[in-house]
């Protein structure tokens, strides 16, 4: 099971593994269950975990990196239950992500992250993102080839066109040659 295959679905509790994509929705399997079901995209909104970020003071932090930090800190500090007090949850989250934005990250968000972390650990989902083939190829290319291609491509020159001015013309009123007949 890959981290990229896990989604949260609006209106449905828990996390789901994507089995198949369809034009009108997804066929998913709840984590830990062997039953698959169809979920329509007309009714539900899908949030892949690899696309979720946490607000920080400077930028955003990917959820997978938050999970990795939680995993590192697990030996030092045990993650609290999502049912613990708000102060305890904030203190733990400050230990894990010290730069998180305290105004935009709500207690409900912290609870959700904790629940997801416990659920993913329970089902042995690795907290890693796999590199795509194109990213791996880009990392292998030497910089010299990139420099050559950048020099070979010259930006297209813009054509300068003269502005078009409209001349005002007066329409001449034609006399009405027809006589009104009564």
Query: Measuring CA to CA, how many Å separate 171 from each of 30, 168, 174?
Result: 75, 10, 9
List beta partners, residue 111: none
Query: What residues contact 122, with CB distance under 8 A and at least 6 apart?
Result: 31, 32
User: pLDDT tens string for the chain (182 positions)?
Assistant: 788 999 999 999 999 999 999 999 999 999 988 899 999 999 999 999 999 999 999 999 999 999 999 999 888 888 898 899 999 999 999 999 999 999 999 999 999 999 999 999 999 888 887 764 344 445 555 544 444 444 444 444 444 444 444 444 455 555 555 555 55
SS3 (DSSP) at 144: helix
Give burial (CB, 10 Å; 0-12/13-18/19+) of 100.
buried
């Amino acid at each position: 099971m890959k981290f990229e295959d896990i989604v949260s679905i609006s209106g449905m509790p828990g996390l789901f593994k994507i089995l198949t994509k369809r034009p009108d929705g997804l066929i998913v399997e709840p984590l830990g269950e062997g039953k698959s079901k169809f979920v329509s995209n007309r009714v539900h909104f899908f949030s892949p975990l690899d696309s979720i970020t946490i607000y920080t003071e400077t930028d955003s932090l990917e959820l997978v990196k938050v999970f990795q930090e939680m995993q590192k800190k697990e030996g030092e500090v045990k993650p609290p239950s999502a049912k613990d007090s708000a102060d305890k949850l904030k203190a733990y989250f400050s230990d894990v992500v010290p730069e998180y934005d305290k105004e935009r990250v709500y207690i409900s968000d912290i609870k959700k992250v904790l629940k997801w972390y416990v659920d993913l650990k329970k089902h042995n989902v690795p907290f890693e993102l796999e590199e795509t083939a194109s990213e791996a190829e880009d990392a292998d290319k030497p910089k010299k080839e990139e420099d050559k291609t950048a020099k070979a491509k010259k930006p297209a020159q813009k054509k300068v066109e003269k502005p078009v001015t409209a001349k005002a013309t007066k329409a001449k009123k034609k006399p009405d040659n027809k006589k009104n007949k009564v």
